[in-house]
Structure 1
Amino acid sequence: MKKNIAVLGTGSDVGKSIIGAAICRCLSDRKEKVAPFKAQNMSNNSGITPEGLEMGRAQIVQAEAARVVPHVDMNPILLKPTGEKQSQVVLNGLAQGNHTAMSYHTDKSFYWDEACRAFDRLSERYERIVLEGAGSCAEVNLMPNDIVNFAMAEYADAHVVLTADIHRGGVFAQIVGTLACLPDAFRDRVKGFIINRFRGDIDLFRDGAEWLEKQTGKKVFGVLPWYSHFRIDAEDSVEIENISNLKALDPKSPQIAVVRLPHISNFTDFHALSRIEGLQLLFIDQPRDLSRFQAIIIPGSKNTRADLEWIKKRFGSPLKEYRDRGGHILGVCGGYQILGQFVDDPQGVEASPGRTMGLGLLPVETVLKDPKTTTISDFEWDKASGKGYEIHMGFTRLTSGSPLLKIKSRNGVLCDETDGCVSDDGRIAGTYIHGFFDFSPVLAKWFSMIGLEGFSLPNQDMAVEKEKNYALLKEHFEKHIDIGSIL
């Protein structure tokens, strides 16, 4: 094998995932057989492998950048927060139930062994692995039980590239402080730094780079400027933490709102909408003047019943008034369940067992239960076809209305089933399909449904758009980073 590379960070959301994807694409273009790896990921933004197993979205993105098929060995442990102190543990692609932080840490040696076995299997199939760390790699109180950052970099005998975010300020303290918190063996493994998200004239940072190299004795591999000319799927919901400003909207252009649920998941479903020129997509957490929106979307949730209670208190009456005035509402996955008559959780899959009454906008009833549905699904909506993925617990039963979609196959197995529901007047609809908007014919069908006929749509599906963005990412990375020194 060639030398493995570990991209670790001075903190959370400093750009580790994107830099890992960039290195994967650079190596792939050099004809190397490379794979991404993250021992333990914490995110509600997950995806499905061709085998129907669940893994973190970031490693799926990195696998796509590396031009390899995503596999759960690339992310053997996925923690999906269901509340402040509890997460669902997904091990090797399969949900293992909910665990508190304390119970999970009690079994940390077991999860470490699982992570190492996954890495070993991956190493047998690829000549180089690009590892990604989690959060800050210098959390001294967590370091003895950390299975993601330096412990895994040591196991993989990887050179460490330390990533810092200059946009949030204090980049010198980020880097020097991180090194100061590390034991000698970990500090020696760091080969250099990438300064991420720089705005302005990079030449003005030349003295800063020289100071860092003199102070640390390690190389600054480069300074990555802020980019806006391409888009890579993000791992976390940090990009939607800042709720959109309604005052900044153009009243002459159509507007679509996504309800920013407290436990929102798979928010990347809406990237296909945000790329459409002239369409304004925003996330809202207050029901201010819903009449301005052409449609309102309720997204996926990692804690459906808790988010259902939240949305009933804030949006219950306003959504029904919006519907009565002729508005269009779409629910995706957890949002689909929220639109129904009730969500029943007899096994306590999400939290305590119980039943929560829904918004009552769709004639469906949901029961949460094991096992988790994880499929890549081919579907049709009349003559429009697409491919998406399903990640949900339990099942939803229609009591009236009509199915929204026909499912043609799941995980490569042909079937003749249905998905979702649409109200008799066509104004309220729901589906379990993530990636619903990624195919232009499906998008055109939905636009027609909500009264946006004739709207200019991309002539390429999201898969083609993603490939272009990976190429632009690699070009941007190699222009500003000394990839030769990293390798």
Structure 2
Amino acid sequence: MAEKAACLAVLGTGSDVGKSIVTTALCRIFANQGIRVAPFKAQNMSNNSGVTAEGLEMGRAQIVQAEAARIAPHTDMNPVLLKPVSDVGSQVVLNGRAWMEASSQSYYTQKEYLFSESCAALERLRRGCDLVIMEGAGSCAEVNLMEHDIVNLRAAAAADAPVILVADIDRGGVFAQIIGTLACLSLEQQDRVRGFIINRFRGDIALFHKGISWIEQRTGKPVFGVLPWYRHFHIEAEDAVVIENTRPFDPSTSSEPAIAVIRLPHISNFTDFDPLAKLEGCRLVYLQSPQDLDRFRAVILPGSKSTSSDLQWLETSGWRKKILDYSGGGGHLLGICGGYQMLGTWVHDPDGIEGEPCSIAGLGLLPVETVLKAPKTTTLTDFTWDAIAGTGYEIHMGQTRLSAGRVLMEVQRRNAEACEDVDGCRSEDGRVIGTYMHGLFDTPAITSHWLAGLGLGDVVVDELHGPAARDQAYELLAEHAARHLDIRAIAALLPSSLQRMER
């Protein structure tokens, strides 16, 4: 029987400290050395998801890491995905398929089964590669959760993986983060932690040398490196925390035309708009508090994991009136997935997919009506928009029917199977459009086509756009990490066969 892949775990002192970035960097670094490397995260909580070639759903962060490792994403890399639909409940996606709607309490009754499923996924993954980089979730030292942990130290122990602990110096208290985390662990768990990476450093690293020495002397473990802030490349974010606490923006204060994305409470797949954020000559902003929109060239309603709830929020927050005023004044609106559903006349949830059964009036800007019902659609999709070919992916529970208006796109293939179908809707004047297609702007020609419709045809869309731009960013991240981390010391944690490949 073939030898199983080695495992290396990247855990954190807290949420958003840089575990995903370090995992992505290591995936590309080891892939560049000819090692067959794969990412793994037993349990991810995020509404930012994507679709595999098999038509199954998994977290976007592990798709990014698979791209960095130059392999096709597979649900074995993220067997359990939690998609929050409320403050206390989530949809549980197991091995790529919607499995159950669970409250926090009911989810914990399933933890042992989910742990066994995640271990089985990891075993399958280990049979096809040389190295698995395991990413943790949140803090690995949540003492009240450790008994039922399926993603941090328990997962690392099951795989006999050495652990690198990542801490974030930018948020302050990095010494307490590291020492406090170790203090919460058993001696056996402390021994599994082999060293540290300190993330998000600003300033002169020479001023921190004493701090590194103190950590190493106090813990008896090495600091594998200190990663400075970077601004010369962009890696997709795992969670919407990066777009929280947005502020009002006045387009008249910018010399560039501006496009707004409404930051819904249950926003999903906000990385759809990363290609727009990188355009030169155009500004992309996220807006949370209602404001006048008349100076924006376009307003986008993004995907939502809870369309009904977010529709109600548009009403109670005051956004509904602002959006309708903007549309009435001739503004351009784009709705994607849940945002598309909101642009229609009604959203019906007869089976309580998103909570209590209900019917909620939409914005009434497109002649479409949506019924939320299972099964979930998860497809990789090839389409044409005004004869321009593009690729994207669909993740939605709803079925939307047009009663008038014009179809937006023709669909040629879903999950590599030929079909003759359509998607989306556009208003008669073309100023309001909606689609289920995530990843719309990954295709340069599609981005240019949409911008031209806004009167922004002079904005240059570089061919290094979408997947090509992401691949370049992975290379820049790997160079950045290799410059500041002791990769040989990290490789020394691995079996000798991989160390020889590293040299």
User: TM-score scaled to structure 1, two decimals?
Assistant: 0.98
Q: Distance in 1 between matches of 2:251 and 2:340?
A: 29
Give the aligned partner of residue 20 of structure 1: 23
For 1:52, the equivalent position in structure 2 comes to 55
Equivalent position to 2:176, from 173, 176, 195: 173
Q: Is the 8 A contact 1:37 1:59 kept in 2?
A: yes
Q: Distance in 2 between matches of 1:460 and 1:100?
A: 43
> Would you say 1:381 and 2:391 are equivalent positions?
no
Check the 8 A contact 1:166/1:196 in 2, yes or no: yes
**1: CA distance between counterparts of 2:462 and 2:211?**
42
- AA at the equivalent of 1:147: I
Work out whether 1:372 is the aligned partner of 2:370.
no
Deviations 1:153-194 (A, max 9, x none): 001111100000000000000000000000011100001000
Structure 1 contact 7–133 (Cα < 8 Å) conserved: yes
Unaligned 5+ residue runs, structure 1?
none
Question: Which amino acid counterpart does residue 418 of structure 2 have in structure 1?
Answer: L
Aligned-partner SS, 1:446: helix
Corresponding residue for 2:357?
353
On the 8 A contact 2:251/2:296 being kept in 1, the answer is: no
Residues matched between the structures, number:
487
Which residue of structure 2 aligns with residue 480 of structure 1?
A: 484
| Counterpart check, 1:140 vs 2:146 | no
Matches within 5 A, 1:72-91: 72-91=75-94
* SS of aligned partner of 2:440: coil
Of the structure 1 ranges 151-160 and 277-286, higher mean CA displacement relative to structure 2 is found in 277-286
Q: Counterpart of 1:439 in structure 2: which amino acid?
A: T
Structure 2 CA distance, aligned partners of 1:249 and 1:96? 47
SS of equivalent residue, structure 1 residue 282: strand
Query: 1:249 deviation in Å?
Result: 6.6
- CA positional deviation for 1:311: 1.0
Q: Is the contact made by 1:300 and 1:334 (CA closer than 8 Å) also made in structure 2?
A: yes
Find the counterpart in structure 1 of residue 499 from structure 2.
none
**1:2–1:409: structure 2 CA closer, same or farther, 3 Å change rule?**
closer
Q: Kindly provide the amino acid, as one letter, of the partner of residue 268 in structure 1.
A: T
Structure 1 contact 249–280 (Cα < 8 Å) conserved:
no
The 2-side partners of 1:466 and 1:335 are apart by: 25
Q: Deviations over 1:442-467 (max 9, x none)?
A: 01111111121222221233111111
**Structure 1 residue 278 corresponds to structure 2 residue 291:** no
> 1:248 Cα deviation (Å)?
8.4
Judged with a 3 Å threshold, the aligned counterparts in structure 2 of structure 1 residues 201 and 247 are, in CA distance, closer, same or farther, namely farther
Q: Is the 8 A contact 2:247 2:288 kept in 1?
A: no
The residue aligned with 1:117 is: 120
Secondary structure in 2 matching 1:109:
helix
CA distance in 2, matches of 1:190, 1:275: 38
Structure 1 residue 289 displacement after superposition: 2.0
Residue 440 (structure 2) pairs with residue 419 (structure 1): no
Distance across 2 between alignment mates of 1:249 and 1:109: 55
Give the corresponding residue for 1:454: 458
SS of the residue corresponding to residue 7 of structure 1 reads strand
- In the alignment, the residues of structure 2 paired with residue 281 and residue 39 of structure 1 have an alpha-carbon distance, to the nearest angstrom, of 33
- Confirm or deny: 8 A CA contact 2:248 2:288 kept in the other structure: no
Contact residue 251 and residue 258 of structure 2 kept, 8 A: no
Contact (CA 8 Å) 1:191, 1:218: kept in 2 or not? yes
Aligned partner (choices 197, 200, 203) of residue 200 of structure 1 = 203
Find 2:43's aligned residue among 30, 33, 40. 40
Deviation at 1:3, TM superposition (A): 3.6
8 Å contact 1:265–1:299 — kept in the other structure? yes
Match of 1:264 in 2: 267
C-alpha distance in 2, partners of 1:317/1:245?
17
The answer to whether the Cα contact below 8 Å between 1:244 and 1:282 also exists between their aligned partners in 2 is no
Deviations 1:234-259 (A, max 9, x none): 11001101304525874331000000
Counterpart CA distance in 2 for 1:312 and 1:253 is 30
CA deviation profile, 1:129-175 (whole Å, cap 9, x unmatched): 10000000000010001110000000111110000000000000000
Identity %: 55
CA distance in 2, matches of 1:110, 1:456: 51
Find the counterpart in structure 1 of residue 244 from structure 2.
Answer: 241
Equivalent in the alignment of 1:108:
111
Alignment match, 1:391:
395
1:329 aligns with 2:324: no
Segments ≥4 residues shifted beyond 2 Å: 247-252
Contact 1:389 1:435 in 2 (8 A): yes
Contact 2:5 2:129 in 1 (8 A): no
What letter is aligned with 1:202?
I
Q: Which residue of structure 2 lines up, in the alignment, with residue 318 of structure 1?
A: 322
Q: Deviations over 1:423-475 (max 9, x none)?
A: 00101000000011111110111111112122222123311111100000000
Q: For the Cα contact (< 8 Å) 1:97–1:349, is it kept in 2? A: no
Q: Per the alignment, do residues 211 and 245 of structure 1 end up closer, same or farther by CA in structure 2, a change over 3 Å counting?
A: farther
Partner Cα distance (2:455, 2:312) in 1: 30
Partner of 1:309: 312
In structure 2, what is the Cα distance between the partners aligned to 1:210 and 1:421?
61
SS at match of 1:125: coil
User: How far apart in 2 are the matches of 1:100 and 1:260?
Assistant: 24
Distance in structure 1 (CA, Å) of the matches to 2:268 and 2:193: 34
CA RMSD of aligned residues (A): 1.1
Indicate conservation of the 8 Å contact 1:3/1:159, yes or no: no
Helix, strand or coil: the match of 2:442? coil
Structure 2 length-normalised TM:
0.95
- Tell me how far 1:323 sits from its aligned partner: 1.1
2:237 and 2:254 map into 1 onto residues whose CA distance is: 29
2:203 alignment partner AA: G
Q: Over residues 268-299 of structure 1, what are the superposed CA-to-partner deviations in whole Å (9 max), with x where a residue is unaligned?
A: 00101000012111111223121110000000
Helix, strand or coil for the counterpart of 2:127? helix
1:29 to 21, 27, 32: 32
